[in-house]
Amino acid sequence: MTPQSRIANIQVQVVCQTTGELKEERVACETFWKNGTSCVIIFFDRFGSKFSRLSARELSNIIMPTLKKNNIRFIGIGFDAKHLKTFVQGNVFDGELYVDSKKQCFKALQFKRLSVFEVVRGDLAEKWRSAAKIAKKISLGGDGCRIGGVLIVDKNGKLLYEYDQKDTDEKSLALEMFQALNLKRCKTVRFCLIEPTYYEI
């Protein structure tokens, strides 16, 4: 069974994009790609996690302008509504947000949960000490343990890309995401807030 088929019928709760409040409305994940558009789905750990917020800010800066230009939906799914309001009000993510409070997507996609040792080791890494300093500017919270990933599905329901973070020391592979979507070159973008690097895409 493909990753997108495993989550297709899972219902996620809609988040108000201005207030961060949870709406009563729930939608099946398959609606993200069954309405005639391709989509990029980012699975966050906790909305208050420093790593989630850094990833959200980086990905929004890198890919959202190009996704919008090409009519591709940018979806964020989290598993805990705690810190959701500050996540939204902090403007760290430019896409649509949903909450999977029962962690059904997380379980279906078998995303990894780090041990205490791995979390400590990740936090002690130099680049993540730098990340922590940057993250203070956009609020912290959460346990930083649960690791998510990325799915890219085209408008016909075909999986174009899957990325499952292996540990907290990995960065989202933005260039691979653009290649999977077969997007044309756009302007130079800033890839990483921690160690500034520039790419022509």
Q: What is the pLDDT of residues 101-147, one digit of tens each?
A: 999 998 898 876 544 334 444 444 455 555 556 555 544 444 444 45
Q: How many domains is the chain partitioned into structurally? A: 1
Q: How far apart are the first and last CA of the chain?
A: 32
Report whether 174 contacts 150 (CB < 8 A). Answer: no
Report whether 119 contacts 157 (CB < 8 A). Answer: no
Residue 72's closest CA among 160, 192, 201, 188? 160
CATH of the domain at 8: 3.40.30.10
User: For the whole model, what pTM was predicted?
Assistant: 0.78
pLDDT of residue 187: 52
Containing structural domain, residue 124: 3-199
